Amino acid sequence: MADTIQFDLVSPERRLASVQALEVRIPGAEGDLTAMPGHAPLITTLRPGVLTVVSETGSAEYTVTGGFAEINAGSVTVLAERGLPSAEVSPAIYAEMLAEIRAAAAVAAPGSPADTAAKLVADMEALGAQIGQ
């Protein structure tokens, strides 16, 4: 399996995935990216979005609200603040995720952190549209 990379996705609650992947599409805070075998080493933060893993058996989508991704030549490890298979995100769970981000944004001080908080709310609302919530 020289054309695959080891992919691991972990949230505080559980390990969500551990598979050999052909590619991993990551919602990076500075822009989306796709990690494939041979990718240059990189560590990036995540924004709320859908993380897609493509393997030889198909693709799987996971909803993440933030966290970190570490990419190496042979592996991708994602530590999600909160993550679930997208199929498990019910309207109630999405509303809870959105409320948490809005609450954090409401207490952010004016200036750059407030701008970042407002962007997180916008990203979370866009995520809801993407997953049909």
> pLDDT class for 103, splitting at 50, 70, 90?
confident
For the stretch 107-125, what's the b/e string if a residue is b when 16 or more beta carbons lie within 10 angstroms of its beta carbon? eeeeeeeeeebeebbebbe
Parts of the chain belonging to CATH 2.60.15.10: 5-86
pLDDT in tens, 45-87: 999 999 999 999 999 999 998 899 999 989 999 999 999 999 9
Average pLDDT score over residue span 89-100: 88
Q: pLDDT at position 75, please? A: 95
CA 132 to chain CA centroid, nearest Å: 17
CATH number of 5-86: 2.60.15.10
The answer to whether residue 128 scores a pLDDT higher than 70 is yes
Rounded mean pLDDT, 113-117: 63
Q: According to the model, what pLDDT value does residue 97 have?
A: 86
**Bridging pattern class, strands 67-71 and 75-80:** antiparallel
Q: Kindly report the length of the chain.
A: 133
